[in-house]
């Protein structure tokens, strides 16, 4: 009989994230090829893992159509050269797709049914804009189950500002600016590069190049510049392009393992899964979803918010992150939060982003043996939130000199 197991995040890699649309670096690159590149890069870096031992491949996409359709986990596994004996599946929880891939595969490992799994996500928002081929049931609006504005994520962000007037545009602008500055500082220090898989890309003229870094960064961002931006979701609104994640293309993949597989194969895990939770909220203010999800995950882990030493929060919109920080009494510029910036600077390829958060948290853990627990969380379209709590295997219990533990 299978026994319960610890669940370990062994490693994760991602493609550089590209701007969506005709001017973006992936305009002529297929979505499934982005996933394949990430899988190949991850398995090459973890060559102690026999490919035929992988029990399942879960790949998420929000728009499961065209080159993001056809049971992505299975097709990407075949294209990446995994044996035909390795199965796969596709997952959709909009922005939390990759996060759900990880928790679903993690639960299968924890229950003792799987030893090893790949989990990730992809979104080619240039080829597949969010909701492009969707046909929402007319009952949603006719029976007032959901306000029509709930399907526009920018409108839902404006509504958080409405609900919490003390979360001002200036605070959101400052958060967006700092995200850009922190991401650039981390790039210059070589923090992101080890976990990026280069992708061969072809431009409009047919010339080949290499995508090696995230394309959408704007390190020159200033408060003055942000103050002058248009508010596209509402006249005289508060949400701008500078406080929103840009439309993005990219893929992420992680390798998960159970305790026995870690020992048998001599793997060195980067994190241990402690708990996870998803929660629903009104779709009209979907951005507050991570608050109840985080409360739920903390309860399941027997922890409080004060036990969390590092936060990787998806910056779908600045206001969404600030609302969570405000709820838990954490300063907007707390150094524990998104130390290398986030989606406002790097991009948010919807279903891929959850594993990007995990890759970054794992890298922080390696540098921070004084921190025991970290948290990855994100809001989800249609009124949800997701949170995963992780433990640092490098934790020593010693406080950091001159800093917070």
What digits encode the pLDDT tens for the residues 36-49? 999 999 999 999 99
Tell me: pLDDT of 146 over 90: no
Question: Can you give the pLDDT at residue 401?
Answer: 66
Q: What is the predicted pLDDT for the residue at 151?
A: 75
Report pLDDT for 141: 78
Catalytic, out of 95, 124, 161, 364: 95
pLDDT of residue 211: 96
Of the residues 124, 128, 161, 348, only one is catalytic, namely 348
Verify whether residue 379 is a known catalytic residue: yes
pLDDT in tens, 94-106: 999 999 999 999 9
pLDDT of residue 206: 85
**Helix 31-45 with 72-79: angle, nearest 10 deg:** 60
- For the chain, domains (ranges, CATH) are 7-126+246-389 (3.40.47.10)
Average pLDDT over residues 110-124: 98
Question: In the structure encoding, which two tokens stand for residue 78, read together?
Answer: 């075949």
Please determine, for residue 383, whether its predicted confidence score (pLDDT) is greater than 70: yes
Task: Give 195-204 pLDDT, tens digit per residue.
Answer: 999 999 998 7
Residue 124 annotated in active site: no
CB 281 within 8 A of CB 292: yes
Q: How high is the pLDDT of residue 240?
A: 96
For the chain, the average pLDDT equals: 95
pLDDT at 118: 99
* pLDDT at 402 (0 to 100): 55
pTM: 0.97
pLDDT of the residue at 188: 97
pLDDT for position 170 = 97
Q: What pLDDT was estimated at residue 404? A: 47
| Separation CA 99–CA 96 (nearest Å) | 5
When pLDDT is cut at 50, 70 and 90, the band that residue 405 belongs to is very low
| Arithmetic mean of pLDDT, 163-178 | 97
Could you give the C-alpha distances from 40 to 260, 276, 325, in angstroms and in order?
24, 28, 37
Residues in CB range of 301: below 8 A, 6 or more apart: 274, 275, 373, 389
Q: How far apart are CA 87 and CA 73, in angstroms?
A: 8
Asked whether the predicted pLDDT for residue 134 surpasses 90, the reply is: no
Report the Cα 275 to chain-centroid distance in Å.
17
Told to judge if 394 belongs to the known catalytic residues of this protein, a careful annotator would answer: no
Residue 275 has pLDDT above 70, yes or no: yes
Helix (H) or strand (E) holding 120: strand 116-124
Average pLDDT of span 171-181: 98
Can you tell me the mean pLDDT for 241-248?
A: 96
Which stretches of 18-99 are assigned E, i.e. beta strand? 18-19, 56-60, 88-91
- Tens of pLDDT, residue by residue over 198-225, are 999 998 788 999 999 999 899 999 999 9
| pLDDT band of 147, cuts 50, 70, 90 | confident
């Amino acid at each position: 009989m299978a026994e319960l197991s610890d669940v370990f995040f062994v490693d994760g890699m991602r493609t550089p994230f590209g701007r969506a649309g005709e001017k973006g670096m992936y305009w002529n690159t297929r979505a499934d090829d982005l996933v394949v590149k990430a899988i190949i890069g991850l398995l090459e870096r973890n060559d102690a893992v026999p490919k035929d031992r992988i029990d399942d491949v879960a790949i998420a996409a929000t728009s499961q159509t065209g080159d993001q359709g056809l049971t992505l986990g299975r097709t990407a596994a075949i294209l990446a050269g995994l044996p035909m004996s390795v199965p796969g599946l596709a997952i959709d929880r909009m922005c939390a797709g990759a996060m759900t891939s990880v928790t679903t595969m993690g639960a299968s490992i924890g229950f003792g049914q799987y030893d090893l799994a790949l989990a990730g996500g992809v979104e080619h928002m240039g080829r597949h804009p969010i909701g492009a081929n969707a046909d929402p049931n007319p009952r949603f609006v006719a029976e007032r189950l959901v306000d029509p504005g709930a399907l526009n994520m920018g409108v839902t962000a404006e509504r958080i500002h409405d609900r919490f007037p003390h979360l001002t545009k200036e605070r959101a602008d400052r958060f967006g600016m700092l995200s850009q500055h922190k991401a650039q500082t981390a790039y210059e220090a070589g923090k992101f590069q080890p976990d990026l898989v280069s992708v061969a890309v072809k431009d409009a003229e047919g010339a080949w190049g290499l995508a090696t870094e995230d394309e959408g960064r704007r390190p020159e961002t200033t408060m003055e510049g942000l103050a002058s931006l248009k508010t596209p979701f509402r006249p005289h609104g508060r949400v701008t392009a500078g406080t929103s994640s840009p439309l993005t293309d990219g893929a992420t993949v992680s390798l998960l393992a159970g305790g026995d597989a870690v020992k048998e194969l001599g793997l060195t895990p980067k994190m241990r899964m402690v708990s996870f939770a998803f929660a629903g909220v009104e779709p009209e203010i979907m951005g507050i979803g991570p608050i109840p999800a985080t409360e739920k995950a903390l309860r399941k882990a027997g922890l409080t918010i004060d036990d969390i030493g590092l936060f990787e929060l998806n910056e779908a919109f600045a206001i969404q992150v600030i609302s969570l920080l405000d709820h838990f009494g954490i300063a907007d510029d707390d150094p524990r939060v998104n130390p290398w910036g986030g989606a406002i600077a790097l991009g948010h390829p919807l279903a891929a982003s959850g594993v990007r958060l995990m890759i970054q948290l794992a890298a922080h853990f390696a540098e921070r043996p004084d921190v025991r627990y970290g948290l990855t969380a994100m809001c989800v379209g249609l009124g949800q939130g997701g949170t995963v709590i992780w433990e640092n295997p490098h934790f020593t219990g010693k406080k950091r000199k001159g800093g917070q533990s």
